[in-house]
Amino acid sequence: MRKLISSTWTWLIIQTLFNVSISSFTYAEGLGEIIDIGKYRSRSVLPDPYEKPCPDTPVKLLHLEGNLYRHTIGSPAFYSGLVLITQEGALIIDPARTCTALKLKEMIDEKFHVPVKYVVYTHGHFDHIGGGQVFQNAGAQVVAQKNALEPIIGERLPTALPNIVFDQEMALNIGGESVLLHHAPPSHSDSMTFVYFPKYKALQCTDICGSDSLPYGELPDFYYDGWVEALTWIQRLDIRWIDDGHHQLATKEQQLLQLRYLQELHTQVLDLVRGGESWEQIYHDIKFKDVYKKWTDFESYHLSNTRGMYEWISLHRRGDW
């Protein structure tokens, strides 16, 4: 691995040009490390479940403003990510599946006639980062937070390894526009990247943010404290668009409610555990406010979310014994 060129001056120019409130991004240098992916060429990978064409899964590329787009998979969208398309090339976030990545590439080729220069992974979970090889094989650089590398290799995920990893923060520049990457606190994995487009005040906040929607299942790869910290941190950003990687676009206000949902679930489960209740009792006694009952996936996930929180609390407390 070797270090990329420091971009201190580029960064200062970005701040001057766009004159936006990005004070939460504290770095002065966008540093990354190049991964020698050739040495992993013969790594073992699982079969790709989305290798075959998927004509029944619609892919859309929706224009938001200026050079900013959003790609969605399925209708209603079950996966999504922001896309930047400039004259110099495109940047896409989380291709999600091989078969849909092929369609997305075709759409960008036909409509914009520019190469995809960067693919950014929001974290090291296969459901979001499948299909990365479609763009990497065509010349794109795949970028991820450094903690994503180990699970991609260790879990034998059938997608591209990152060509570039970063530790805390990194700036990418394409077609005169900047894209800022920030390592979010461990929350939904320890490899989470917030991606911020200062020109559009747009934030990619996959699987941490919500759009009046419950977090997934039993909160896999869950870190409660960091999730609270992450949702609190983004409140400092100036935000016009949020993509949470699923469903519909979200607002900053919705993230305060998302934060409250997690905190209330934590407090309630902790109180029940401290009251001596077993999981079987908690399962029956847990209560949810009406506002959350209207959220997407409430019926599917409210009890599994409770179970995930129960597991977290069980691992992170000690009573009087």
Task: Tell me which residues touch Zn ion (CB under 5 A).
Answer: 125, 207
CB of 122 to Zn ion, least distance (A): 8
Q: Which CB atom, from 207 or from 244, has the smaller least distance to Zn ion? A: 207
In the block, tokens 């949702």 appear at 231
Residue type for position 26: T
**What does residue 28 show for φ and ψ, rounded to 5 degrees?**
-110, -5
Give the angle subtended at the CA of 52 by the CAs of 48 and 56, to the nearest 5°.
120
Q: Are 222 and 308 in contact (CB under 8 A)?
A: yes
CB of 210 to Zn ion, least distance (A): 13
Look at residues 121, 205, 107, 210 and name the one whose alpha carbon lies nearest to residue 157: 121
**What is the greatest pairwise CA distance in the chain?**
66
The CB-of-43 to Zn ion minimum distance in angstroms stands at 21
Nearer to Zn ion, 143 or 219 (CB): 219
Query: Does residue 54 sit in helix, strand or coil?
Result: coil
**Residue written as token pair 């606190």:** 185
* Residue 14 or 73 having the CB closest to Zn ion: 73
CB 220 to Zn ion: min, Å:
7
User: Residue 7 or 98: which CB sits closer to Zn ion?
Assistant: 98
Minimal CB distance residue for Zn ion: 125
Cα distance between residue 147 and residue 167, in whole Å = 8
Nearer to Zn ion, 97 or 125 (CB): 125
Distances (CA, A) of 105 to 120, 137, 179, 248: 15, 12, 20, 22
Distance CA(77)–CA(12), nearest Å, equals 37
* Residue whose C-alpha is closest to residue 92's, from 234, 217, 245: 245
Q: Which of 97, 91, 102, 96 is nearest to 68 (CA)?
A: 91
Rounded least distance, CB 276 to Zn ion, Å:
34
| Nearest distance in Å: CB 221, Zn ion | 7
In the complex with Zn ion, the residue whose CB is nearer, 188 or 201, is: 188
**Shortest Cβ distance from residue 255 to Zn ion (Å)?**
17
Q: Which is nearer to Zn ion, 200 or 227 (CB)?
A: 227
On whether the CB atoms of residues 162 and 185 are closer than 8 A, the answer is no
